[in-house]
Amino acid sequence: MHNKTIAELIQGLRNKEFTSRELTQHYLDRIERLDSNYNSFITVTKDSALAQADAADQRLAAGEAPDLCGIPIAHKDIFCTDGVRTSCGSKMLENFVPPYNATVVENYLAQGAVMLGKTNMDEFAMGSSNETSYFGAVKNPWNTDCVPGGSSGGSAACVAAQLAPAATATDTGGSIRQPAALCGLTGLKPTYGRVSRWGMIAFASSLDQAGPMTRTAEDAAIMLNAMASFDSKDSTCIEHDVPDYTAELNNSLDGLTIGVPAEYFGEGLNPAIATAVNAAIETYKKLGATIKEITLPHTDLSVPAYYVIAPAECSANLSRFDGVRYGHRCEDPKDLNDLYCRSRAEGFGDEVKRRILVGAYALSSGYYDAYYSKAQKVRRLIKQDFVDAFDPAKAGVDIILGPTTPDPAFAFGAKSADPVAMYLEDIYTIATNLAGLPAMSLPCGLIESENGELPVGLQLIGNYFDEARLLNVAHQFQQVTDFHQHTPPGIA
């Protein structure tokens, strides 16, 4: 059962090949048996999963159940779950049990989806390797000596190892697409404001966006159908109709114009990845698309701008963890100052502290204009590059294509001593967060590397609210290639 896609599982439940309880039990057994190899879950919610499965079986028997009714999924441990510990990968929230569900979690519950548990992640979603988790690193199912990517590494590893058919994830600078690329999955970051951020623990509020991690584009469409909604509780959530994202998957690509930015193929890109991405371009030509070279001239400024804006927002967001209201509190504080200082010193890991320090500095009086306000101006230029690329009066492309990451999965420790090397992992993904655009990663090859045979991710970037087209373009690629069907060694 575990090698089926969500689309196939939906059919299986309706054809009574298995019940949701059997399916859920099957995944729970796999998690229990295999997850010690990957460390992809922080919490497994066995009892509630089986209870939800029984309820879903009743709904299915009564007919007219929503698509995801009875389908087991995992949630990144950044989404608040009523009565279930939500750690955000941090000691700060090691014992935090929220009294409410994030809207994303609520939306899946309303469909009758079954929650298997909460997945491991970089602490407060800061990282590209999952090595910053307080709960230990996650291992890549393709090679357990390698990182799965981050910050949604647990969501990626559990889907790649077929411990869950799909998982939720979040992307602030690449955290859905980069782990999807490194684990051979399909990951979608929707337009900023497409999915509610309510109940999703904030890292950088103007960049954070939730999305699905799946094996196919079709599954991503099914997952997004449930995930996307207007939510008045999130003031940045946009009131925009939610189409049926599966409706346009089979559209022909005849007449589609794909832009290929020169800046995404420069220095630093692993040649084997360039070869795989170029082969994907050839596939798209055969599918009827026209390829157009474009330029996104401010690409090289996206990592520096992000590493001012994201830390600035995180320093403000994480000020709420003060040892007073909730989260870790130090023992026997001498006074209020000691309570703040020691609770935060003990509760946060090194990368989170580094970001808070950088962010507080960039926002401080005297430096605000030099750093923060400058970075915001650069952000506007980066956004304008994309607006021009999609503008019919200018470059006029429908989709932008390039690599997701400069390298395949790397060994543990390979980049952890050098924050800048780690930050450059997201060189191709960060600009779309700064611009608020939707983007996805899908598998486009397997390459020989020093760490064995590893998957490569192809990135597709769409115009605002053009997720349906993005999914269509990804789905058509998956109709004529089988990279998304490859599974890590030992996973059948």
List active site positions.
Answer: 76, 151, 175
3-state secondary structure 213-262: EECCHHHHHHHHHHHCCCCCCCCCCCCCCCCCCCCCCCCCCCCCEEEEEH
| Binding segment (CB under 6 A) for ligand GLN, from list 2-10, 172-180, 228-236, 280-288 | 172-180
Determine, following the binding rule CB under 6 A, whether residue 173 of this chain makes contact with ligand GLN: yes
Query: Does residue 9 contact residue 17 with C-beta atoms inside 8 Å?
Result: no
Among 72, 98, 127, 438, interactor with ligand GLN by CB under 6 A: 127
- String of contacts with ligand GLN for each residue 137-156, x by CB under 6 A: --------------x-----
Among 77, 123, 131, 171, interactor with ligand GLN by CB under 6 A: 171
Residues from 288 through 327 that contact ligand GLN (CB under 6 A):
310
Torsion from C-alpha of 66, 186, 190, 229, nearest 10 degrees: 10
Query: Does residue 379 contact residue 434 with C-beta atoms inside 8 Å?
Result: yes
- Measured CA to CA, the distance from residue 262 to residue 403 in angstroms comes to 11
| Binding segment (CB under 6 A) for ligand GLN, from list 58-66, 122-130, 277-285, 447-455 | 122-130
> Which CB atom, from 210 or from 471, has the smaller least distance to ligand GLN?
210
Q: Shortest Cβ distance from residue 423 to ligand GLN (Å)?
A: 7
Among 5, 45, 128, 140, interactor with ligand GLN by CB under 6 A: 128
Among 175, 225, 302, 463, interactor with ligand GLN by CB under 6 A: 175
Residues from 420 through 449 that contact ligand GLN (CB under 6 A):
426
Q: Shortest Cβ distance from residue 300 to ligand GLN (Å)?
A: 17
| Binding segment (CB under 6 A) for ligand GLN, from list 165-173, 264-272, 401-409, 452-460 | 165-173
Angle at 491 between CA 168 and CA 214, to 5 degrees: 20
Nearest-CA neighbor of 164 among 43, 23, 334?
A: 23
Among 172, 302, 315, 478, interactor with ligand GLN by CB under 6 A: 172
> Which CB atom, from 169 or from 258, has the smaller least distance to ligand GLN?
169
Q: How far is CA 396 from CA 111, 341, 436, in A?
A: 38, 53, 19
Among 53, 125, 273, 276, interactor with ligand GLN by CB under 6 A: 125
Determine, following the binding rule CB under 6 A, whether residue 209 of this chain makes contact with ligand GLN: no
Query: Does residue 454 contact residue 447 with C-beta atoms inside 8 Å?
Result: yes
Residues from 324 through 383 that contact ligand GLN (CB under 6 A):
none
- Measure CA of the first residue to CA of the last residue in the chain; give whole Å: 10
Strand order across the beta sheet in which 257-261 lies:
41-44, 114-119, 72-76, 167-171, 209-214, 186-189, 439-449, 452-462, 399-403, 257-261, 290-294
Determine, following the binding rule CB under 6 A, whether residue 126 of this chain makes contact with ligand GLN: yes
Query: Does residue 185 contact residue 213 with C-beta atoms inside 8 Å?
Result: yes
Binding residues for ligand GLN (CB under 6 A): 125-128, 151, 171-175, 203, 310, 426
